[in-house]
Amino acid sequence: MAYNLSNLVLDHLKGLSPYSSARDEFSERAEIYLDANENPFSPYGRYPDPSHLELRKSLSALRKVSTENILIGNGSDELIDLLLRLVVRPGRDKVLYFTPTYGMYRVSAEIAGAKTLEMPLSVDFNLPLGPTLERILKDPDLKVVFLCSPNNPTGNTLPKEEVRQILSSTSALVVVDEAYADFAKESSLDLLETYENLVVLQTFSKAFGLAAARLGMAYASKELIAYLRRIKPPYNVSTFSQSLALERLKSYETVTEQIQKIIKERQRLEKALAKLPSVLHVYPSEANFLLVEFSESKEVFQYLLSRSIVVRDRSKEVPRALRITVGTPKENNQLLSALKKYNA
């Protein structure tokens, strides 16, 4: 069965008439605002732009994607949740993702009542392509497939040819989560024109340095974006967050400089870690973190904690592995010197 958005969208949401504020309809003519029961005396009294238009225009220029193909969410976490709520029939539909990966695919899928299908990535963290996956991709109850590239926590990107293969083998939505793509060489954004079932998620939380502001973006067909817009909370992104993001986009050189600095630090950290006796393996990464296999990860984790350094224990998913975010040069030096003392 070929991809068909109206087969995917839940029936009760197809006919939903969304909440609309008077300002949506009459914003161009507005001078005196007596429509939204705000406090007129406060500088922060007005509701934010529910359509995030300025921000979408700015992103459209940067990413060469039309504004109609962009939706802004309260972090990409909100977009993951909205996507699932749009298409998952609780107790019936299935959602597929490949482990180890970002934990919210499972959590949000379970909240939406989906049956979760977890397939392990291969030993080198690539997609388990083959007849089993082919069969799952053809299941008519499969509604959403999550791919994460670069993948959290493994740090590797998925080959684009394999992303294409998944997109063309299923009538489900294929979400490529590119939270870390600004640190990597490749993005799937240019596949949007070819594959209607593609959703690319990006975020302001990583390379853009605005995790505190909570802003994520979905890039997808304009039909899918229109449906998502109808079910999103009207004022999901604050005025402050929208303007912080716009400022960041205006000084995009600062973002690219910081990306370069983080990548250089990642490379330095990778080399230095690989030399430590307690380190068995540093997995190659195209993100702003490193997955590191230690001989005794639990002990190293506790030891770092005792020195006030918090890393992420991922040893349940990847044996003996800790995930370490690339910090400032000073923080990275503190980490390295602590680990050297652990070995001494």
- Looking only at the bridges linking them, the beta strands covering 115-120 and 289-294 are unpaired
Of 141 and 162, nearer to ligand PMP (C-beta) is 162
CA dihedral 70, 243, 179, 297 (to 10 degrees): -160
183 forms part of the interface with ligand PMP (CB under 6 A):
no
In the list 205, 236, 242, 278, the residue contacting ligand PMP (rule: CB under 6 A) is 205
Side chain identity at residue 87, one-letter code: V
In this structure, are residues 79 and 237 in contact, taking their beta carbons and an 8 Å threshold? Answer: no
Of 38-46, 58-66, 73-81, 186-194: span binding ligand PMP (CB under 6 A): 73-81
Of 22-30, 46-54, 74-82, 88-96: span binding ligand PMP (CB under 6 A): 74-82
* Contact track, ligand PMP, 126-165, x by CB under 6 A: ----------------------x---x-------------
Give me the least distance between CB of 89 and ligand PMP, in Å please. 24
Give me the least distance between CB of 37 and ligand PMP, in Å please. 30
3-state secondary structure of 294: strand
CA angle (230, 234, 238) in 5-degree steps: 140
242 forms part of the interface with ligand PMP (CB under 6 A):
no
What is the Cα–Cα distance from 164 to 11, expressed in whole angstroms?
29
105 forms part of the interface with ligand PMP (CB under 6 A):
no
In this structure, are residues 214 and 174 in contact, taking their beta carbons and an 8 Å threshold? Answer: no
Order across the sheet with 115-120: list the strands. Answer: 70-73, 216-219, 198-203, 173-177, 142-148, 94-99, 115-120
Give me the least distance between CB of 20 and ligand PMP, in Å please. 26
**Residue 276 has which token pair?**
């430590």
Of 38 and 110, nearer to ligand PMP (C-beta) is 110
**Which residues are at the interface with ligand PMP (CB under 6 A)?**
75-77, 102, 148, 152, 177, 179, 203, 205, 211, 216
